[in-house]
Amino acid sequence: MNKASTSHTADAATKDVYILAIETSCDETSVAIVKNGKEVIVNHVASQIETHKAFGGVVPEVASRQHVECITLLIEQTIAESGLQAEELDAIAVTEGPGLVGALLVGIMAAKALAFALDKPLIGTHHIAGHIYANQLVEEIQYPAIALVVSGGHTEIVRLEREGRFQVIGQTRDDAVGEAYDKVARSLGFPYPGGPHVDKAAQASDTATPLPRVWLEEGSYDFSLSGLKSAVLNVVNQSRMKNEEVDSGSIARGFQDSVVEVLVAKAVRAVHEYGGKQLLLCGGVAANGGLRKALQASCEAQQIPLVIPPMKYCTDNAAMIGAAAYVKWTHGEFSDLFIKGEPGMSLEAWSVQ
């Protein structure tokens, strides 16, 4: 992230700080205004799910075009509904990465133009930092904390040593949880997006198809889901070869039980090993009912404070970007107008200095 000195100095103790944030990393166009990194004034999300259903997944070029079509209107609508004048904004934040490069660029160009026109600081923001700081919208984060990030493209365990300092201690070696859910959903004949359908079928089933748990090396916090995904496909194919009915509910529950058991066990172990004061659940898959219930039960049994954002802040949204950008604001770290979309942007490198 390029840093640029600026005359806009933060003093959150004496002045409310209003950040307009833009999120266009994938298939949601979102604009929000967040006050002091904690209070959402306005948060608009224009979803593209219905458009991408026809393709069974996100088509990058289509996503980018839809961002272009609605970004200006969303910015105007968000400012109008906030009760603020554009000049009263303190900074403009935007998702710089990771994400689809074409989609990222739409939001970045809009943010650059707005920051330049209003002479306001620009804050390029990490998408996963946004998911983590979505928790700040509901409860004060206590450091050190452990974040379990589960989304369509990311599965990570992150240690937050202090505000804005990230250490990735575990990550997926192949498929992310969200990707695995979508692939399993397709094999079971569920429509896109598949994750919610797998979750619903799993919770409704009284039986669970036995499937492996992938723990990897002793003490590892990494994840691997490709083998589990292959095991599901093997069960489905065997049933079809025998002309037997595929028990979608039982397979969905077996798959979800396997995923959730490993996620919960490793996240809880990380809290104990690293002395975490809280466990934060982050990302789109945080909306998964089976995961939420299992994590809540485990944390309650072990007296671990657990923070989970409401559903509207689990999936991609600009409010979370505004919350994360406020961390950069308080440390006086801003971006210049030369930032560009960074599909492989590092979370650790985005940390405050």
Question: Which domains, ranges and CATH numbers included, belong to the chain?
Answer: 18-134+314-350 (3.30.420.40), 139-308 (3.30.420.40)
Long-range contacts of range 3-9, CB-CB < 8 Å, 24 or more positions apart? 3/333, 3/334, 3/335, 3/336, 3/353, 4/334, 4/335, 4/336, 5/334, 6/121, 6/332, 6/334, 8/90, 8/91, 8/120, 8/121, 8/334, 9/332
3-state DSSP helix/strand/coil percent for the chain, to nearest 5?
45, 20, 35
* Residue 154: both structure tokens together: 């990311």
Q: Do residues 24 and 106 make contact, with C-beta atoms less than 8 angstroms apart?
A: yes
Q: Do residues 321 and 188 make contact, with C-beta atoms less than 8 angstroms apart?
A: no
- Rounded Cα distance between 71 and 31, Å, is 8
pLDDT of residue 295: 96
pLDDT of residue 13: 53
CB environment 105-125: b (16+ within 10 A), e (fewer): bbbbbbbbebbeebebbbbbb
**Low-confidence residues in the chain, pLDDT < 70:** 1-13
Q: Is 246 exposed, middle or buried (0-12, 13-18, 19+ CB in 10 A)?
A: middle
Triad 64, 70, 74: Cα angle to 5°: 130
- List of residues 6+ apart from 98 with CB closer than 8 A: 25, 126, 127, 128, 153, 154, 342, 343, 344, 345
- Rounded Cα distance between 110 and 68, Å, is 9
Q: In what order do the strands lie in the sheet with 306-307?
A: 165-171, 155-162, 145-150, 279-282, 306-307
pLDDT of residue 320: 98
- H or E element that contains 175: none
Number of H helices, E strands in the chain: 12, 10
